[in-house]
Amino acid sequence: MTRCWTTARRGLLIALATATGSCGGELDRLDVPEFADGSRECGDAPALGIAGETSTERAPITWVEGSDAWYGEPIVVQVPADLTMLQVSVVAGPHWTGVAEARHNGALLIDGRDNFYGAPFYHYPAVAGSTMFPIDEDSTLAEGCLQLVPVSMTDPGGAGELHLAARRRSPGATFDLNVVIVGDTEVAQGELEAAVAIANDIYAAAGSPSFADISYETLAYPQSVFATPEESPGTSFDELGALLVSYEPADPRDFTVFVIQDFIEPGNLGIAAGIPGPNGIPGTGASGLVVSVDSHLDDNFENLDLQVLGETIAHEIGHQLGLFHTSEAEGDIHDPLEDTGECHVEQHDQDGDGELSPEECADEGGDNVMFWTAGESLSQDKLSPAQIELLALSPIVD
């Protein structure tokens, strides 16, 4: 996961800046109020979801001002024995939100006091900040009680809902895709169809959930070139977030890919809105992902590299559905999954530039869809069994 915005060619919209100032993981501790632990005994708390279905429930948040943020009063739910996945999203308009604390049967899973950004969730505030259980092989919720404490880094003005997307069914196989061409972006639909087909083939060949219905449309919008976080960290999220807020698919469970002409800063291929994003919740500043046309042009700026565009779409969808980078640029951070390659600078940085390329990591996950950046000569079309399982559990996958 890209913790801060860098020159990485594929990135995360949530990694613009910390709520306390600059990037770099400064926000690793919150002054979470001491709430009573309600995860040891559920009492008459509602049970999550509907047996045999995937469903989303909403709970209003009652905010309490703390010393460093606004905290929601704890929300306690019963976890049924047949729950296979839970996506938690804290929605409060444009405010940066998240889960400050999660307790399950007395065990602290997300700990805002001592390790807010810790493994395996690497959870961090974002617009419509979200997390999910499981996010690795060991974080499935067993039957029992779950207590969640929402957080908003700025005053939410009383607004806020906790969205709980509960899957009480087996893993799914397909999901629907909306491809939205923004403003006057110049790109042939046929080229987009070819790139989307490549992304779909990557997923299908790996045995992962693939696309069912695919739609294409143009969104009337006053711009097609957008700032990236590095240039204007105070305003760029508002700009991209406004784009995402402006569109709602006909079916809220459809996945949306926004296609823009370019980012102002060159070299950024695409941006996802979270790991995971608020999937199945339209109309937020994190409801979808964005890919650039011009960043995928060849060296003569004439033809689209459809293979890399397809791989970028697959990569950013992976982020939005809950997958981290298998290895980061410096090789010191890796995803929480046990069956994906871990590439390290000490062993693999052949050119000594301090960054890992896919080609240098060919034997340690450089060909994985979720490697941190695109390759020059190595296709990235592989997914591990654990990655596939997580994708198949998403609330938007049927």
Q: How many CB atoms lie within 10 A of CB 356?
A: 26
Amino acid letter, residue 340: T
In a domain, 24, yes or no: no
In a domain, 269, yes or no: yes
Tens of pLDDT, residues 344-385: 999 999 999 999 999 999 999 999 999 999 888 899 999 999
Q: What is the mean pLDDT of residues 11-30?
A: 46
Whether 233 shows a pLDDT value over 80: the answer reads no
Whether 52 shows a pLDDT value over 90: the answer reads yes
The pLDDT value recorded for residue 19 is: 32
In a domain, 3, yes or no: no
The pLDDT value recorded for residue 359 is: 96
Between CA 349 and CA 358, with CA 352 as vertex, the angle to 5 degrees is: 35
Q: What is the mean pLDDT of residues 34-55?
A: 94
Q: What is the mean pLDDT of residues 195-204?
A: 98
In a domain, 46, yes or no: no
Pick left, alpha or beta for residue 353 (phi over 0 → left; psi -120 to 50 → alpha; otherwise beta).
Answer: alpha
277 and 153, same structural domain?
no
In a domain, 45, yes or no: no
200 and 105, same structural domain?
no
152 and 178, same structural domain?
no
The pLDDT value recorded for residue 10 is: 63
- CB proximity list for 335: less than 8 A, separation 6 or greater: 1, 323, 324, 325, 326, 327, 370
In a domain, 6, yes or no: no
DSSP conformational letter for 387: H
Q: What is the mean pLDDT of residues 208-233?
A: 87
Amino acid letter, residue 310: G
- Distance in angstroms (rounded) separating the CA atoms of residues 55 and 164: 8
- Distance in angstroms (rounded) separating the CA atoms of residues 18 and 25: 7
385 and 271, same structural domain?
yes
Tens of pLDDT, residues 275-291: 999 999 999 999 999 99
The pLDDT value recorded for residue 230 is: 52
203 and 265, same structural domain?
yes
177 and 157, same structural domain?
no
Whether 303 shows a pLDDT value over 70: the answer reads yes
In a domain, 15, yes or no: no
The pTM for the full model equals 0.93
Q: Helical H runs in the chain?
A: 189-206, 236-245, 306-321, 345-348, 385-392
In a domain, 1, yes or no: no
Which CATH number fits the domain that encloses residue 379? 3.40.390.10
- Distance in angstroms (rounded) separating the CA atoms of residues 78 and 107: 15
- Distance in angstroms (rounded) separating the CA atoms of residues 298 and 152: 42
Write down which residue in 101, 133, 167 finishes a domain: 167
183 and 104, same structural domain?
no
* 6 closest CA partner among 265, 261, 296: 265
211 and 158, same structural domain?
no
Name the token pair of 360: 């240098």
CA 266 to chain centre: 22
* 365 closest CA partner among 342, 386, 344, 387: 342
372 and 245, same structural domain?
yes
- Distance in angstroms (rounded) separating the CA atoms of residues 118 and 112: 9
391 vs 14: which has the higher pLDDT: 391
- Distance in angstroms (rounded) separating the CA atoms of residues 268 and 233: 15
177 and 61, same structural domain?
no
HSE at residue 1, side-chain half, CA atoms within 13 A, is: 28
Q: How many CB atoms lie within 10 A of CB 316?
A: 27
- CB proximity list for 166: less than 8 A, separation 6 or greater: 48, 49, 50, 54, 55, 56, 57, 83, 85, 86, 395
Q: Give me the helix-helix angle, 189-206 and 306-321, nearest 10°.
A: 60
Name the token pair of 240: 């991209």
The pLDDT value recorded for residue 266 is: 76
The pLDDT value recorded for residue 325 is: 96
Q: What is the mean pLDDT of residues 56-79?
A: 97
Domain that holds residue 255: 172-392
Question: Which residue's structure tokens are 């704890």?
Answer: 74
255 and 132, same structural domain?
no
Looking at the 3D structure of the chain, how many domains does it have?
A: 2
Write down which residue in 110, 135, 167 finishes a domain: 167
Write down which residue in 108, 140, 167 finishes a domain: 167
Q: Are strands 10-12 and 270-272 parallel, antiparallel or unpaired?
A: parallel
Q: Is 141 exposed, middle or buried (0-12, 13-18, 19+ CB in 10 A)?
A: buried
DSSP conformational letter for 385: H
Q: How many CB atoms lie within 10 A of CB 105?
A: 17
Which CATH number fits the domain that encloses residue 158? 2.60.120
290 and 216, same structural domain?
yes
